[in-house]
Amino acid sequence: SAVISQKPSRDICQRGTSLTIQCQVDSQVTMMFWYRQQPGQSLTLIATANQGSEATYESGFVIDKFPISRPNLTFSTLTVSNMSPEDSSIYLCSVDAGTSSDEQYFGPGTRLTVT
Amino acid sequence: AQSVTQLDSHVSVSEGTPVLLRCNYSSSYSPSLFWYVQHPNKGLQLLLKYTSAATLVKGINGFEAEFKKSETSFHLTKPSAHMSDAAEYFCVVLGGSYIPTFGRGTSLIVHP
């Protein structure tokens, strides 16, 4: 299994500012995913990030609001731009378990509160 | 297309009694199905998964789930609840793509 860490674990931010969340994996992985979990809700996929290519965004999410970087096979960042209170959520990164498995491993999440 | 429905938003049981968390799915392809658990302020942990092998799947911490194609169900059970089982549980379906669909979650409450 992969061990995933995220920074920061939580933050309280002002409206209109931006926050960059880091995701670090202890092994090289092909695909990394970013999810949003709004209060009391399930997980919604924001985008898929493959190293060396542009992230693929799901319906309702755009690059200008959620720019993603994937500079190598063990690291990715998600930026939440121009934040509003509606962006208050838990943001989770995950990785695929490998070509022989279709499960995902999840990071501990970043709890974001926008005031 | 794929979807998943968790039939209960909350399930409340007493410690030592059985647990049943219900999940129904739909998928255009033969699906893989998963149950994840999320403890407060923790990440998601895989409990068990079904990937077209045995229909009765055993997971960690005494949980198991049975894949019933005729009923399109994948209910999670445990014979005897423990206080440490109190958490949010997510049923997940994966069929035809690498993008999983999560259920809305079931909050398991365990009373002493």
Of all residues in chain B, the one with the smallest CA distance to A5 is: B43
Residue B41 CB neighbours (<10 A) = 11
- Cβ <8 Å between B105 and A42: yes
Of all residues in chain B, the one with the smallest CA distance to A104 is: B46
The residue whose two tokens read 């962006």 is A87
Asked if the B2-111 domain carries CATH number 2.60.120.200, the reply is no
Cα A111 to its chain centre, rounded Å, is 11
**Alpha-carbon span B30 to B105, nearest angstrom:** 22
pLDDT digits (tens, 9 = 90+) for A25-48: 999 988 899 999 998 888 999 999
Per-residue pLDDT of chain B (112 residues; tens, 9 = 90+): 889 999 999 999 999 999 999 999 998 888 889 999 999 877 889 999 998 778 899 999 999 999 999 999 999 999 999 999 999 999 999 877 778 889 999 999 999 9
**Domains observed in chain A:** 4-114 (2.60.40.10)
Q: Which residues in chain B are contacts of A58 at CB distance < 8 A? A: 99
Nearest by CB to residue A43, choosing from B41, B98, B102, is: B102
Cα A58 to its chain centre, rounded Å, is 13
- Cβ <8 Å between B46 and A103: yes
Rg (CA), chain A: 13
A25 touches B at CB < 8 Å: no
Which residues lie across from A45 on neighbouring strands? A35
Q: What is the DSSP string of B75-92?
A: EEEESS--GGG-EEEEEE
Of all residues in chain B, the one with the smallest CA distance to A43 is: B102
**The dihedral sign for the CA sequence B79, B85, B86, B89:** negative
